[in-house]
Amino acid sequence: ELAALLKEGRPVTFQGARTGIMGAAVPTAGRAVNLTALSGATALGQDEKGFWIDVLPGTLLCDLRAALRRREFDTARWSDASKAALKSLPAGLDFLPDPTEETASLGGMFMTNAGGPSSLSCGRTAEHVLAISGLFASGESFALARGQCQIDGAGRCALPGGQTLQLPACPGLLLPLCPAPGQDLVDLLSGSEGMLAAVTSLRLRLSARPKVRWSVVFFFDGPQGAAAFADGALAMRPAWEGCDLL
């Protein structure tokens, strides 16, 4: 249904949990499609680097974290391999990116490449995404793993199915979304806010939560002192999990 909608050629604005404050989910024309009903974990597995989990884009961060803490999921449609992986899932694993709003959807976090103060230590959302599937603006479906597609100097990218994706030249206004030679296509799509594609599934890397966290408040005479302190905190990464100016 989503592919047919995109092939109509009308503008489509995809929405997640609408927790963002920048207005990216607000349509200016055409149709709005909310993906929060597409939620839940669909698979769990383990590779040489640890555990991963497949989720639908409408899954909320708070729901995923709660299920990981309990190690309880709706496994009715899981494969036997995923059910076996759940039995061996250790305690303390989490999806670390934290946009400071746990009711955010994971698809929305990917499409905005959400970070938050915790990105100081764990990075932004895209760094924890191993693979995605979805639809390009043309309505063509894709499944893409990190490392499969890198963009060349002419803005082209060879897709797994044999097709070649030609990315248009970017005007100055969209410079942050312009492809860079050697950039992974997963990283380009992350943060594109639905202008390049819509995701229908994500494979996320699970990592160990810090065993101990301290929250410390510092007071400064002015913004210059706070900025100097922030520079020092960045130099000590990853000793600081997050840093926020209040």
Of 186, 19, 219, 204, the C-alpha closest to 129 is 204
Predicted confidence (pLDDT) per residue in 63-93, tens digit: 999 999 999 999 999 999 999 999 999 999 9
Rounded mean pLDDT of 203-214? Answer: 87
Q: Is the pLDDT of residue 29 over 90?
A: no
Mention every residue, 6+ apart, whose C-beta is less than 8 A from residue 184. 146, 147, 149, 150, 151
pLDDT value of residue 105: 95
pTM of the model: 0.87
- Asked whether the predicted pLDDT for residue 172 surpasses 60, the reply is no
Predicted pLDDT of residue 55: 98
pLDDT at residue 167, rounded to an integer:
77
Distance from C-alpha of 18 to C-alpha of 11, rounded to nearest angstrom:
18
* Alpha helices, H only, the chain: 2-7, 61-70, 80-87, 106-112, 119-122, 185-189, 223-235
pLDDT at 183 over 80: yes
pLDDT, position 132: 97
In this structure, are residues 133 and 91 in contact, taking their beta carbons and an 8 Å threshold?
A: no
